[in-house]
Protein backbone atom coordinates (compact mmCIF):
# COMPACT_ATOMS: atom_id res chain seq x y z
CA UNK A 1 0.00 0.00 0.00
CA UNK A 2 1.49 3.28 -1.16
CA UNK A 3 0.05 5.46 1.62
CA UNK A 4 0.26 3.11 4.58
CA UNK A 5 0.72 5.00 7.88
CA UNK A 6 0.11 8.36 6.18
CA UNK A 7 -2.37 10.99 7.37
CA UNK A 8 -4.32 12.84 4.69
CA UNK A 9 -6.51 15.90 5.24
CA UNK A 10 -9.01 16.54 2.48
CA UNK A 11 -10.88 19.84 2.47
CA UNK A 12 -14.03 19.44 0.43
CA UNK A 13 -14.01 15.73 1.25
CA UNK A 14 -17.77 15.41 0.91
CA UNK A 15 -17.82 16.46 -2.74
CA UNK A 16 -17.44 14.33 -5.83
CA UNK A 17 -13.72 14.94 -6.35
CA UNK A 18 -12.74 15.16 -2.67
CA UNK A 19 -14.73 12.02 -1.87
CA UNK A 20 -13.18 10.07 -4.73
CA UNK A 21 -9.68 11.11 -3.68
CA UNK A 22 -10.44 10.23 -0.05
CA UNK A 23 -11.62 6.75 -1.04
CA UNK A 24 -8.51 6.23 -3.18
CA UNK A 25 -6.19 7.42 -0.40
CA UNK A 26 -7.94 5.13 2.11
CA UNK A 27 -7.66 2.15 -0.25
CA UNK A 28 -3.92 2.81 -0.35
CA UNK A 29 -3.70 2.76 3.44
CA UNK A 30 -3.97 6.41 4.48
CA UNK A 31 -6.02 7.56 7.43
CA UNK A 32 -8.20 10.32 5.98
CA UNK A 33 -9.51 13.37 7.77
CA UNK A 34 -12.43 14.77 5.79
CA UNK A 35 -13.31 18.41 6.28
CA UNK A 36 -16.10 20.44 4.75
CA UNK A 37 -19.22 22.46 5.36
CA UNK A 38 -21.82 19.69 5.10
CA UNK A 39 -21.52 16.98 7.74
CA UNK A 40 -24.07 14.72 6.05
CA UNK A 41 -21.96 14.52 2.87
CA UNK A 42 -18.76 14.00 4.84
CA UNK A 43 -20.39 11.27 6.91
CA UNK A 44 -21.56 9.46 3.79
CA UNK A 45 -18.02 9.37 2.40
CA UNK A 46 -16.56 8.35 5.78
CA UNK A 47 -19.09 5.51 6.17
CA UNK A 48 -18.15 4.19 2.74
CA UNK A 49 -14.46 4.29 3.61
CA UNK A 50 -15.06 2.51 6.93
CA UNK A 51 -17.24 -0.13 5.26
CA UNK A 52 -14.35 -0.87 2.89
CA UNK A 53 -11.95 -1.30 5.82
CA UNK A 54 -10.40 2.18 5.80
CA UNK A 55 -10.12 4.80 8.50
CA UNK A 56 -11.81 8.19 8.20
CA UNK A 57 -12.79 11.05 10.49
CA UNK A 58 -14.93 14.07 9.68
CA UNK A 59 -15.03 17.70 10.76
CA UNK A 60 -17.19 20.68 9.84
CA UNK A 61 -14.81 23.39 8.61
CA UNK A 62 -15.34 26.48 6.44
CA UNK A 63 -12.41 26.49 4.01
CA UNK A 64 -12.74 30.24 3.51
CA UNK A 65 -12.02 30.85 7.20
CA UNK A 66 -8.24 30.84 7.63
CA UNK A 67 -8.42 30.58 11.42
CA UNK A 68 -10.79 27.60 11.20
CA UNK A 69 -8.40 25.85 8.80
CA UNK A 70 -5.42 26.49 11.08
CA UNK A 71 -7.33 25.23 14.12
CA UNK A 72 -8.43 22.08 12.28
CA UNK A 73 -4.97 21.33 10.89
CA UNK A 74 -3.39 21.82 14.32
CA UNK A 75 -5.94 19.45 15.90
CA UNK A 76 -5.38 16.78 13.23
CA UNK A 77 -1.60 17.07 13.51
CA UNK A 78 -1.75 16.78 17.32
CA UNK A 79 -4.10 13.79 17.22
CA UNK A 80 -2.49 11.90 14.34
CA UNK A 81 1.12 12.82 14.92
CA UNK A 82 1.39 14.96 11.81
CA UNK A 83 -0.11 15.58 8.39
CA UNK A 84 1.50 13.92 5.39
CA UNK A 85 -0.95 15.01 2.70
CA UNK A 86 -3.25 18.03 2.47
CA UNK A 87 -5.65 18.41 -0.45
CA UNK A 88 -7.99 21.28 -1.22
CA UNK A 89 -10.94 19.97 -3.23
CA UNK A 90 -13.28 22.82 -2.28
CA UNK A 91 -15.54 24.22 -4.98
CA UNK A 92 -15.43 27.92 -4.22
CA UNK A 93 -17.73 29.72 -6.61
CA UNK A 94 -20.65 27.32 -6.84
CA UNK A 95 -20.46 25.44 -3.53
CA UNK A 96 -19.38 27.88 -0.88
CA UNK A 97 -22.34 30.18 -1.36
CA UNK A 98 -20.25 33.35 -1.36
CA UNK A 99 -21.25 35.78 -4.11
CA UNK A 100 -18.45 36.35 -6.58
CA UNK A 101 -18.20 40.07 -5.77
CA UNK A 102 -17.62 39.31 -2.09
CA UNK A 103 -15.24 36.47 -2.85
CA UNK A 104 -13.01 38.51 -5.14
CA UNK A 105 -12.49 41.10 -2.42
CA UNK A 106 -11.40 38.33 0.01
CA UNK A 107 -8.81 36.79 -2.28
CA UNK A 108 -5.71 38.20 -3.88
CA UNK A 109 -6.93 37.64 -7.41
CA UNK A 110 -9.54 35.51 -9.12
CA UNK A 111 -9.86 35.43 -12.86
CA UNK A 112 -13.21 34.80 -14.41
CA UNK A 113 -13.50 32.42 -17.30
CA UNK A 114 -13.28 34.09 -20.67
CA UNK A 115 -16.59 34.40 -22.46
CA UNK A 116 -16.83 32.93 -25.97
CA UNK A 117 -16.60 36.46 -27.38
CA UNK A 118 -13.36 37.13 -25.49
CA UNK A 119 -11.95 33.77 -26.57
CA UNK A 120 -12.75 34.49 -30.22
CA UNK A 121 -11.16 37.94 -30.11
CA UNK A 122 -8.03 36.55 -28.47
CA UNK A 123 -7.72 33.87 -31.11
CA UNK A 124 -8.12 36.43 -33.88
CA UNK A 125 -5.50 38.68 -32.32
CA UNK A 126 -3.02 35.85 -31.95
CA UNK A 127 -3.82 34.14 -35.25
CA UNK A 128 -5.30 31.00 -33.72
CA UNK A 129 -2.84 30.42 -30.92
CA UNK A 130 -2.84 31.52 -27.32
Domain ranges of the chain: 7-98
What is the pLDDT at residue 104?
52
Task: State the pTM of this model.
Answer: 0.71
- Measured between its terminal Cα atoms, the distance across the chain in Å is 42
The reported pLDDT for the residue numbered 91 is 76
Q: Residue 25's CB: how many other CB atoms inside 10 A? A: 25
In angstroms, the CA 49 to CA 72 distance is 21
Q: Could you read off the pLDDT of 73-130 as tens digits, one per residue?
A: 999 999 999 999 999 998 765 545 555 555 555 544 444 445 455 444 444 444 444 4
The most distant pair of C-alpha atoms in the chain lies apart, rounded to whole Å, by: 56
Q: How many CB atoms lie within 10 A of CB 84?
A: 15
Which CATH number does 7-98 carry?
A: 3.40.50.720
Condensed to tens digits (0 to 9), the pLDDT of residues 7-42 reads 999 999 999 999 999 999 999 999 999 999 999 999
Amino acid sequence: MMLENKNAVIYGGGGAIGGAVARAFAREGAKVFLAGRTLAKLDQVARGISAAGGMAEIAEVDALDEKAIDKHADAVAAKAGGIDIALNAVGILHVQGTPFAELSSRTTRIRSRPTPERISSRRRQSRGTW
